[in-house]
């Protein structure tokens, strides 16, 4: 369970997409959701050098050669997920990135299970990534972090962390699950690396 928003078509009637880099084909953005912890525990799913962060955002993309998530998750090139971290900084102001602010400010309106809210704000999906350097990322082949946890995902994880003020994180701690309890720590435990390789691409390496 999470807070998520579905990505609509753009005003040009196409969905935002990513391509190139570690990806073969075109991947359309379909959904953005979050993983968080609790007042006692940081909640990111990924760790970088054993370090966990307060909040992790996933932008889920579907390979356009498949018709649905159900179909795409049967194939190892089916899905690509961009992961980004957020960290509370006492001095952080609201982000002033229209996408992030719109989403964070909507969280208090969707605290109850199965509730939804609509926003008429226009923003780019790119603005959800604030100012992080998009040439610096880790990539690996992995799985969905929610059941059925299919091995269908090309992960693209940015190590650069986006600062947010505490109240934007705290909004997530009031979200309720299907039984009305606080939904906390909705991250999957870190999985063994096994035989998988993790690649780090940094723009600096090319100079
Ligand atoms: Zn996720």
**48 DSSP assignment:** B
pLDDT for residue 207 = 39
What Å distances lie between residue 135 and 122, 138, 156, 189, CA to CA?
Answer: 25, 10, 11, 27
Please give the distance, rounded to the nearest whole angstrom, from the Cα atom of residue 125 to the centre of ligand 1.
17
Please give the distance, rounded to the nearest whole angstrom, from the Cα atom of residue 20 to the centre of ligand 1.
22
How many Cα atoms within 13 Å fall on the side-chain side of residue 137? 19
Please give the distance, rounded to the nearest whole angstrom, from the Cα atom of residue 44 to the centre of ligand 1.
9
Question: What DSSP assignment string belongs to 68-136?
Answer: SHHHHTTSTTSEEEEEEEEEE-TTPPP---HHHHHHHHHGGGG-STT----------GGGGGTT--TT-
Average pLDDT, integer, range 168-186 = 94
Q: HEC states along 2-21?
A: CCEEECCCCCCCCCCEEECC
Fold of 4-206: Carbonic Anhydrase II (3.10.200)
Higher-confidence position of 1 and 32: 32
List, for residues 11-53, the tens digit of each pLDDT value.
777 788 898 888 989 999 999 999 999 999 999 999 888 889 9
pLDDT for residue 56 = 96
**How far is 90 from 164, CA to CA, in rounded Å?**
8
Is the per-residue pLDDT at 7 higher than 90? no
**Of the candidates 24, 59, 38, which has an alpha carbon nearest to the alpha carbon of residue 156?**
59
Q: Where are the domains of the chain?
A: 4-206
Please give the distance, rounded to the nearest whole angstrom, from the Cα atom of residue 207 to the centre of ligand 1.
34
Please give the distance, rounded to the nearest whole angstrom, from the Cα atom of residue 33 to the centre of ligand 1.
6
**How far is 60 from 182, CA to CA, in rounded Å?**
25
Please give the distance, rounded to the nearest whole angstrom, from the Cα atom of residue 78 to the centre of ligand 1.
15
Please give the distance, rounded to the nearest whole angstrom, from the Cα atom of residue 67 to the centre of ligand 1.
20
Please give the distance, rounded to the nearest whole angstrom, from the Cα atom of residue 38 to the centre of ligand 1.
16
List, for residues 143-162, the tens digit of each pLDDT value.
877 777 778 899 999 999 99
């Amino acid at each position: 369970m999470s807070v998520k928003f579905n990505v609509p078509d753009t005003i040009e009637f196409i969905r935002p997409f990513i391509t190139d880099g570690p990806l073969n084909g075109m991947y359309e953005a379909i959904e953005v959701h979050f993983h968080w912890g609790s007042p006692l525990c940081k909640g990111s799913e990924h760790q970088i050098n054993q370090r966990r962060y307060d909040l992790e955002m996933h932008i889920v993309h579907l390979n356009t050669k498949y018709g649905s998530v159900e179909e795409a998750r049967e194939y190892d090139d089916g899905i690509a997920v961009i992961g980004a971290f957020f960290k509370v900084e006492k001095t952080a102001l609201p982000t002033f990135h229209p996408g992030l602010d719109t989403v964070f400010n909507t969280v208090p309106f969707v605290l109850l299970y199965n509730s939804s809210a609509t926003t008429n704000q226009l923003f780019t999906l790119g603005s959800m990534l604030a100012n992080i350097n998009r040439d610096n990322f880790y990539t690996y082949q992995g799985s969905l972090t929610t059941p059925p946890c299919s091995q269908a995902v090309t992960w693209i994880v940015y190590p650069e962390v986006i600062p947010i003020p505490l109240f934007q994180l705290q909004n997530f701690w009031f979200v309720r699950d299907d039984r009305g309890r606080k939904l906390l720590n909705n991250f999957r435990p870190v999985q063994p690396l096994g035989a998988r390789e993790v690649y780090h691409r940094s723009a600096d390496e090319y100079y």
